[in-house]
Amino acid sequence: MRKLTLLIERNVLMTLIILLWLKSVIISFTTFQLPLYSWFDIMVVFINPIGIIMIMFGISFLWRKRLSPLMLFIIYLLLLGLLYANVLYYRFYIDFVTVSVLLQLNNVGGLGPSTVELFSPLDTLLFVDVAVIGYVIFKMNRKKNHPVVPNKKRYAFTGVGLLVFTLAIALIQNPFLLQTDYDREELVKSLGLYNYQLINIANGVKSPVMKAFADEADVKEVQSYIQGKEEKDSFQEFGIAKGKNVVFISLESTQNFVVNQKVNGKEITPFLNELIQDSFYFNNIYDQAAQGKTSDAEFMINTGLYPLPSGSVFVRRPNNEFQSLPHILREANGYTAAAFHGNDASFWNRDDMYQSLGFDRFFSKKDYHVTEENSVNYGLKDIPFFEQSMEKLLHLSEPYMASFLTLTNHFPFLLEEEDQSISPANTSVGVVNRYVTTVRYEDEALKRFFELVKEKDMYEDTVFVIYGDHYGISQKYEAGVYELLGQEDTEMSHLELQKVPVIIHVPGQEGKKIETVGGTIDIHATVSELMGVRDKEQINFSRNLFTRGNEAPVVFRDGSIVTGKYAYVNGRCYDKHKQQVVKSNTCTDYLETARNELYASDQIILGDLFRFIGK
């Protein structure tokens, strides 16, 4: 022990650099599912953390002649903490922490009451050295043993040189890397976690400036691009819901694989299975939510714009002006709009954002009778939520748009035994087993809502839009889903699990399964045109699911795409039907579309461009 202590004392700076570098590399290979396809990719992951780690430690002795062991240790702890925060976040979201996420951490589902699910006993290995290093640092400080600073010029040249080399190699491999800064896995693979964080900070500083310098010319540029979208002019269902009340129901964390699926001979969603027989059922719709999860789905449906690359529009731009469904329906047919949610009004900043979106009334937790017995996880259970909402719905001025957010089917999927209508599944993954019971409860809640609507004679004059807001089973737990479905774990089977159910029920209309490939964002245009409003007159990136071509790419916030035939995920272009990798240039045009649409959408949001419309 004494020899180890002396070794660390003599080489404290190098020891901390090597330890942090090793931990970064090991985590990159063991936890982060980076798209590594060659020995060159592996070499890049080994090299990219070193330069920035040296620079971060070097800041502590930039103007000093001797090292401060305590300062070095504090930097070490901060960088290690950032690394571990990303480990926990990645395990659930398969994504990396951003500045925006840290600023809205109280809204991040999955890292609150369910953090225990994300820990691993092996995590302790990340911190076993901290006590030893801390002890050595304490002794050095007490003895005032402050080693001489290494040759600053040589140290700086090495650190900056490695950093420049890392950036150069990354840009040679992918010239669009810094233009597609939303592709966080590619950034972390190419530049390393800490360099990615610096880029994220720089973008966070840049975004407020975009609003200050935006003007009418930016609007014209976006309008010009959107007008180039090819869309069919009409479809036979146009306007069939005009003048009717429209009710949106967000099915929390509900993926499409549960529809028509049985566990131990029992249907997981018997009511939904029955409802889709008399509804427009879209079974090829992909979850496009990003870090804002449910709020992102709400945002896309209301505006037809993409989520932001980092954080949530609800938190980052709640005071913007928007061309949203409440505004559009009010202007077209005098609709009122109300939102219903059994959680705190401030969660995801909905109390502010709903006003900007044009909602006249927001019924939140304070408007409901919530007790310990009728709530679970993130708020009021779904059945009492719908039952208590009915009187509020009855008093809305017609025609109205009403938006309901369910809550019970939320990670980690907790539900008392008396509320379970189906036994848990028997896979090797507990999260998946519990998911079956909470989805089944959600289905019962939906059935109860329809019973109440019919009892109150509200059914015939209402169109119902029911959708899964985002995935519930993250990639960490997908092995259990593959067990349940009898599937293999492949890139394409993972992509298949990103589908969410979208059901539009118009009383009196015959049911139809529509296999168009689309995304959450396309619900906006679809509903608008069913309500008799021409979506072409609006500025958005939504496409009507009744007329959408399967060659138009569904764009994900990380820049990935999927079409009827191809998919580009994790840096590779796939033929979906053959489930084979094809030449990258097959997806080139689709990727360009993705870059253009994401860029234009970000311009609208960060520049608050709708404030210039009609002025």
Active-site residue, from 15, 31, 180, 294: 294
Q: How far is CA 150 from CA 26, 54, 67, 255, in A?
A: 27, 12, 9, 56
Amino acid at 600: A
Contact present, 24 and 189 (Cβ < 8 Å): no
* Residues contacting 458, CB < 8 A, separation 6+: 245, 393, 394
* 253/506 Cα distance (integer angstroms): 24
Q: How many residues does the chain have?
A: 615
371 is catalytic: no
* 575/578 Cα distance (integer angstroms): 6
Contact present, 253 and 469 (Cβ < 8 Å): yes
* 425/434 Cα distance (integer angstroms): 7
Taking the alpha carbons at both ends of the chain, their separation in whole angstroms is 74
Pairing verdict, β 580-582 and 572-575: antiparallel
- Residue whose structure tokens are 């599912």: 33
* Residues contacting 473, CB < 8 A, separation 6+: 255, 431, 432, 435, 480, 481, 497
**Torsion-angle region of 574 (φ positive above 0: left; ψ -120 to 50: alpha; else: beta):** beta
Pairing verdict, β 462-468 and 502-505: antiparallel
Contact present, 291 and 98 (Cβ < 8 Å): yes
Amino acid at 59: I
Half-sphere exposure of 568 (CA within 13 A, CB side): 25
Dihedral pair phi/psi, residue 184, rounded to 5°: -70, -35
* 295/107 Cα distance (integer angstroms): 10
Contact present, 583 and 575 (Cβ < 8 Å): no
Token pair belonging to 475: 């990639």
Contact present, 309 and 557 (Cβ < 8 Å): yes
Long-range CB contacts for residues 153-159, cutoff 8 Å, separation at least 24:
155/54, 155/58, 156/58, 158/51, 158/54, 159/50, 159/51, 159/52, 159/54, 159/55, 159/58
Q: Residue 362: helix, strand or coil by DSSP?
A: strand
Token pair belonging to 455: 């009892």
The residue among 309, 290, 598 whose CA lies nearest residue 471 is: 290
Amino acid at 400: Y
**Residues tagged active-site:** 294
